[in-house]
Amino acid sequence: MAHPKHKISKTRRDKRRTHYKASFKTLAKCSNCGAAHEYHTVCPECGFYRGQVAIEKKEAL
């Protein structure tokens, strides 16, 4: 394995890591029920995706 000849300073290490940022997931509004859900995922409330039924959900009693 390769071994560094010199110690990498904390500043140089941290500069390299500045690109790794946590970000909020983009939310979309469901066209069927109006609930907020993540982009490119099935609505957890009604089971619709892009206006079509993707998952059959049971009716609440």
Q: List pLDDT tens digits, range 8-39.
A: 999 999 998 888 788 888 999 998 899 999 99
Contact in structure between 54 and 41 (CB atoms under 8 Å)? no
Torsion sign (Cα): 50, 53, 57, 61: positive
Query: How far is residue 23's CA from residue 39's CA, in Å, rounded to a whole number?
Result: 14
Structure tokens at 50: 């892009």
Query: How far is residue 8's CA from residue 59's CA, in Å, rounded to a whole number?
Result: 59
Range of the domain at 58: 25-61
Residue 1 has pLDDT above 80, yes or no: no
Residue 61 has pLDDT above 70, yes or no: no
Query: How many other C-beta atoms lie within 10 A of the C-beta of residue 32?
Result: 15
Q: Give the pLDDT score at 59.
A: 66
Q: How many domains does the chain have?
A: 1
Structural domain contains residue 7: no
Residue 60 has pLDDT above 60, yes or no: no
